[in-house]
Structure 1
């Protein structure tokens, strides 16, 4: 038996409220549907030669393509996507574009104390540059630099926020967003922008195409190997091969084309609900005039935000791993996770009891043991890779793309000298140890949330070893 209930459990609505709200929802990604995502680019059908080939049409691959052409407009750049541009994590995340490139300040200070100040500065510079790109490239992605509000919903969490620069007592946090659960808050007014995830991906593809990048969809890469006679790397699909001087692998949660990276990440499923648009009265009942991104402080945390048409996105909490590092569409439908999220939503906003959910969906997050991207070069410096963004890749992938291009250039830059870039994190163990360890960690994190945040010996041991598991 759990020692005590969390605030979400103590304030849970009648289960019939949740079931009614979910009854008309569709298992469809709202962002992709709203953006009209569809196949826009041809299948690779003929073999060719390129200066740079990019595998993966999500944010990392798209930013790499755009910035490669901006660095050297004359080079031939090919991008290969297994399905449609942005269909995976890049088109279905919460749309939080954060300044942090270290998965939060605490994670950065713990892992790279000697260079955290530099990493913090680079993250801020990256977000500012991202905003300039949105304006200068004309990226129609619903950009709103509204910041983030972190809230305490348990008494023991209040002290965690009291030293924040922009801390808010109960009255002040309630003036920002009205919820009976919010006891205290901390506002980061500039460190986060909100975007429409799918529109951002499609807009980056549009810019890449205009710059001359050759984009191919439904062109699954089946393998890469060095062609020693030609001095290139052959990137093979089912129908054709691109012989490339340099290659970037940007496949993230999916099985790596590099054997050495297959234990470096695990795919963890994150679940999301989207409400119907709120009426003026419903919106007034919760306040939220600042339109900040919203998150709580639990180990199993929630995140929430408003869309341009005033829907509420509500996601997080469950982080589900499937034995064998599997990524499958059937994992995206999980009623228990959606019902739990719905219950937590109505505990947070009981004044919205009559609101229905229009969409529900899930997606795989690429988690690594340092919770933020790792980097590397293989094939004698011709193939660069990055993965492990752990759910905070909207902003960090832009930075990572610059790192990968720096690495492939062979030049030493301030980015390539970072310890975060030079050193690989510890891998996850193979099965069955991975599944046992991850599920034990999830249990321990849930237990900590039910014990005023107190971490047991198992979690403290993981912390000391620099290992972990996060959504």
Structure 2
């Protein structure tokens, strides 16, 4: 493979390109000592900040604080691909089995509305996050992908998507995006491009202006439930916070908390971004609608055209080894950079000379059944949300609104959604979970390669079927 062209400004890590572009925020002061609040939120990412936002909007006199070991948006909220979509990573059948099909359909419809909710709140609160609601396009580049895409759209239309919400498109009449070798595409309007760091830092400023206290550089070592007459507690290196309710909003960092090591598996996701692409090259590529774009491979990649005309592309990585750091500055392995570059140039051969300016990685939280959850345990006083896998930008907003209703004791359409109270057993201990993930990832990659080489064969590789049936996939 030809060498990957790198910009003179190339950087690897440093949290993310998004923060490099917008600038790292000035750190807020840490917790000054022991404190008392009505609600204490652990984690200043999207979930924690949305929860604090909706609580203060609903009840302004509520005393709310957010504690964060780094700074607001340091985790996945400031590193993701900028995909605000109605996609849901969980199993529709599992939720329907416990609550009925209508409840799962309601959850899917709620996620569609959530895309508009985020766009609306950002506009109302003056958060400029480069938002463009151009929808999402999924492209297939071989017969097997085409069949799988069509079947998936049929499946989704049976679980809450109507034909206007997701459908196959005629490539000859759709707005042009010159994806090399595309044989078919699907489209959903329920998606928007965002700038992740601008959204999370803007949201933090709004939350602070509402009266929420955000304490950064405050590592949490333990969350204690209510015991008898003693209220829940958040134990930090700078003091202990007592509150009526404690919300754990730590996503991929959950395993660092005492007693939470096997709840959600930390999984890495990596990205690269090019230098700004020349206008004459964009004329050949198209992509004028700024749709979100991903392929229909098993090991799929996702991309966006940024506000300053770069291409940012990412893909899910592997599970982290036991003892690996979830709090890294985002350095990406050379192999991950090479894989993303190959995917980018496979989609758009014309950008093969566009230098890569930045590479970075982040960590997301994956439950064993890949199904996210939101919950509040009245007895312990502890609430939590997460396990979004790869669809957290919108889902975290829905979680924040749901936690608001649960904490305030409201019975609403949101609190009756089937992901509320969803429980799943923890992951196997290391190194079993890491080894299993490596096997699944290898099977999917081999399946993608075989499907791309199978001339005209419209069937998913048996290796992918095997990977899909493996426990915990």
TM-score band by shorter chain is 0.7 to 0.9
- Which of 76, 99, 103 does residue 89 from structure 2 map onto? 103
Cα-to-partner distance string for 1:19-41 (whole Å, 9 max, x where unaligned): x3367521141101112122342
CA drift at 1:325:
6.2
**Equivalent position of 2:59 in the other structure:** 72
Separation in 2 of the partners of 1:257 and 1:374?
19
Cα distance change of structure 1 residues 401 and 346 upon mapping to structure 2, 3 Å threshold: same
Aligned counterparts, 1:18-417, within 5 A: 18=4, 20-21=5-6, 25-27=10-12, 28=14, 29-100=16-87, 102-103=88-89, 107-108=91-92, 111-112=95-96, 114=101, 115-162=103-150, 165=163, 166-172=167-173, 176-188=176-188, 190-226=189-225, 228=227, 231-256=230-255, 261-316=260-315, 318-324=316-322, 326=324, 327-329=326-328, 332-378=331-377, 380-417=379-416
- Report if aligned partners of 2:255, 2:264 keep a CA contact under 8 Å in 1: no
Say how many residue pairs are matched: 444
Shift of 1:359: 0.7
Closer, same or farther: CA 116–377 of 1 in aligned 2, 3 Å? closer
1:152 touches 1:183 (CA, 8 Å); kept in 2? Answer: yes
Counterpart CA distance in 1 for 2:241 and 2:127 is 29
Q: Taking structure 1 as reference, are residues 184 and 147 closer, same or farther at Cα in structure 2, changes over 3 Å only? A: same
Match of 1:443 in 2: 442
- DSSP-derived class of the 1:431 partner: coil
Residues 442 and 160 (structure 1), Cα distance of their counterparts in 2 relative to 1, 3 Å cut: closer
Aligned equivalent of 1:459: 467
- CA change 1:182–1:271 in 2 (3 A) is same
Contact 1:367–1:388 at 8 Å: present in 2 too? yes
Structure 2, unpaired ranges of 5+: 154-162, 452-459
Query: What is the CA-CA distance between 1:355 and the residue it aligns to?
Result: 0.8
Cα distance in 2 for partners of 1:64, 1:216 equals 16
Alignment partners' CA distance in 2, 1:255 and 1:170: 43
Change (3 A) 1:281 1:110: farther
Partner of 2:457: none
Deviations 1:348-380 (A, max 9, x none): 211122211111111112112332422334572
Alpha-carbon distance in 1 for matches of 2:423, 2:53: 26
Q: Distance in 2 between matches of 1:412 and 1:297?
A: 39
- CA distance in structure 2 between the partners assigned to 1:319 and 1:433 by the alignment: 17
Post-superposition shift, 1:126?
1.8
1-side partners of 2:320 and 2:391: how far apart?
A: 21
Deviation per residue, 1:47-102 (Å, 9 max, x gap): 221011111010000001111101110011111110011011100101101123x2
Task: Single out whichever of 154-163 and 379-388 deviates more from structure 2.
Answer: 154-163
> How far did residue 336 of structure 1 move?
1.0
Gapped regions of structure 1 (runs ≥ 5):
1-13
> Which segment drifts farther, 437-446 or 89-98?
437-446
Question: In 1, distance between residues paired with 2:273 and 2:48?
Answer: 27
The two structures have a TM-score, normalised by structure 1, of: 0.88
Relative to structure 2, which stretch is displaced further, 381-390 or 400-409? 400-409
Structure 1 range deviating more: 344-353 or 253-262: 253-262
Aligned-residue CA RMSD (Å)? 2.3
Contact 1:269/1:332 (8 A) holds in 2? no
